[in-house]
Amino acid sequence: MRKQTECTTILVGKDATIDGSTMIARSEDGGRTIIPEGFKAVNPEDQPKHYESVISHQKIDDEDLAQTPLRYTSVPDVSGKNGIWGAAGINAANVAMTATETITTNSRIQGVDPLLDPEDGGLGEEDFITLTLPYLHSAKDGLKRIGHLLEKYGTYEMNGMAFSDKDEIWYLETIGGHHWAARRIPDDAYVIAPNRLNIDEFKFNDPDFACSADLKDLIEEYHLNPDREGYNLRHIFGSSTIKDAHYNNPRAWYIHNFFNPDFGGQPSDQDQPFICRANRKISIEDIKWAESSHYQDTPYDAYGDEGTPEQKKTFRPIGINRNFETHVLQIRNDVPAEIAGVQWLAFGPNTFNSFVPFYTNVTDTPECFQTTPKFNLNKIFWLNKLTAQLGDTNYRVYGELEDAFEQKSLSECHKIQHDTDKAVKGLSGKELQDKLEEANKKMANTVYNNTVELLGQMVDEGHGLMTLKYDLLD
């Protein structure tokens, strides 16, 4: 059985962020079964020299792995049952990649270029980070690499993925079994991409767009375009279903209205724009709030007072029990390249966790973020699962404790990061990496200890709220 991932991607260009960095973010969400995620630095000697997918048993020709790989960070599925499933990371060239956003398709393109059956091979979400990120020297390199892999090996599922460097962000979506299309995100814009095919307006022969060489011919030959003018890839290759109206579109609608209150519209609107502008510059805290959101101050909030029981279950929230890890891959432009890459990372449901801003120019990661497959409260993944499940029993009480915990954790991490940025000036090589690893460990331990403190506060508050109690004390 394949691992399920249903995510929410947020992309923010360098002129749209508060500090001039590029940011690509995604919550990696799973199904009913808990999927423990870890944090790992993959050094060149650890990169596979020979590769075979676990799900499809697709073997990759050695010449496609022959380039000298770069070191990179990864957020793998620690069980290994579904393959590596690296999810997201930043490499030694300060190129970031998040993969993948499960997206939709339609019968027209599937009749032309069907998805592969995994029993017949092909690549999928378990493979893309491992086969792509260590070989990239720019965001645009990601398009070339993925294009080559898709055209040669094919895929058995629809995927969206993003690439960034200090200047550019590109978002790519697979189309059918062997095709793809990508768009450069304008520097002053942001994107919200839920689990549907997201790219709308597309311009062939424009440097800000890229695709399979035969994509336009394929559209014309098989009469795939329903529009009278132009090319809208969501209309041509995507979906517009009841599931989109309830599962996908409301997530985009809610964040759009958070980033720009004049956005308006209705939660189920099918044609929400792909490229948008906010009414302010976007911060890490904005992205974390959005990825944690559950339709607050609307009738659709599962924890709110406004809606009926039916309304509270109408739309799929972004912050959900199935968040297993959430990241923001940030490439900064106001610091030296050696410390520019930062992977903000949080494990577990986003309503009860905090980001940690890990430097990615490292060869190892903090112990408490190296998750074990089985329940272990020394690992922050499992600790966050526990605080979220306890917090869910009475959000009105525990939510305030979480807000204070997250404010405290983020401020302390910001302080450690600011101090480290200054302290490592003039350092290089192993001396620099040692200092960055020391800072990463300090931030990880700070947030771990704050989470333990939060759990203790929740136990104290919850003691008197238990159902199994009796007010007359003997």
Cα–Cα distance between 171 and 160 in angstroms, integer?
Answer: 7
C-alpha dist (Å) from residue 371 to 40, 385, 454? 10, 12, 20
Phi, psi torsion values for 321, nearest 5 degrees: -60, -20
Question: Angle, nearest 10°, between helix axes 249-259 and 284-292?
Answer: 140
DSSP 141-182: HHHHHHHHHHHHH-BSS-EEEEEE-SS-EEEEEEETTTEEEE
Which of 7, 211, 276, 413 is labelled catalytic? 7
Distance in angstroms between the alpha carbons of the first and the last residue of the chain: 54
Known active-site residue 413: no
Which stretches of 311-428 are DSSP H helices?
380-391, 395-423
Q: What residues contact 131, with CB distance under 8 A and at least 6 apart?
A: 51, 60, 64, 65, 123, 145, 149
Instruction: Copy the structure tokens of residue 196.
Output: 């549907």
Cα–Cα distance between 11 and 22 in angstroms, integer?
Answer: 8
Instruction: Copy the structure tokens of residue 195.
Output: 């689990």
Q: What residues contact 435, with CB distance under 8 A and at least 6 apart?
A: 420, 423, 424, 427
Q: Distance between alpha carbon 302 and the CA centroid of its chain, in Å?
A: 23
Cα–Cα distance between 190 and 15 in angstroms, integer?
Answer: 10
Q: Judge contact between 383 and 450, C-beta under 8 A.
A: no
Closest CA to 21 of 221, 283, 265: 283
Count Cβ neighbours within 10 Å for each residue of 250-282 and write b for 16 or more, e otherwise: bbbbbbbebbeeebeeebbebebebbbebeeeb
> Which residues are catalytic, by number?
7
